[in-house]
Amino acid sequence: MKIKYIHRIILIASLILLATTMVAHAGDSYRVSRVVDGDTIEVRKGSITLKIRLVGIDAPETSRKKHMPGQPYSQQSTQTLNKLVLSKTVDVKTYTMDRYGRALSEVFVDGSNVNLEMVKVGLAEVYRGTPASGQNLSPYWNAEEEAKKAGRGMWVQGDKYVSPREWRKEHQN
């Protein structure tokens, strides 16, 4: 029993070490191989695949169950991110790793901040949890306010809008 516990600790420590050595740094370029949802992508560089959570934003939640629609605007959010980044070369600025081993990063296509663009078009809100250390969220808050006023994307729902954070709480298994 003790040996299994030690092996688990060694495995976890090894995975953490591997993840931190694979973290993208400012200016690193990758090719986007997959769009998971409206705020998560996978990128590749050679034999390295890295899962990236777009830092500073929270997009409507997709369903984890087949044939379920998920949160309103989740499919539009995923499709928009897909159009912005899939199969493109992106520059990545990583702030830290999250508890799931994803790099919390700002992603840029041709110098344009994709994270911020998702907020501008109304298909993501500013992340309501603890912000990444060093990230300036002022442009994000301004973009969200502008998208709300214009009724873009998910903001057209008005009073019926539910934040992704609240939606996750209500729909946990």
CB 114 within 8 A of CB 81: yes
Active site residue 102: yes
Active site residue 31: no
Marked catalytic residue, from 102, 117, 125, 144: 102
| DSSP-assigned letters across all residues of the chain | -HHHHHHHHHHHHHHHHHHHHS---TTEEEEEEEEEETTEEEEEETTEEEEEEETTEEPPPPPSSTT---STTHHHHHHHHHHHHTTSEEEEEEEEE-TTS-EEEEEEETTEEHHHHHHHTTS-EE--SPPPTT---HHHHHHHHHHHHHT-GGGGGGGG---HHHHHHHT--
Active site residue 168: no
CB 137 within 8 A of CB 131: yes
Marked catalytic residue, from 61, 117, 125, 144: 61
Marked catalytic residue, from 8, 31, 44, 53: 53
CB 59 within 8 A of CB 77: yes
Task: Give the residue numbers annotated as catalytic, written as ranges.
Answer: 53, 61, 102
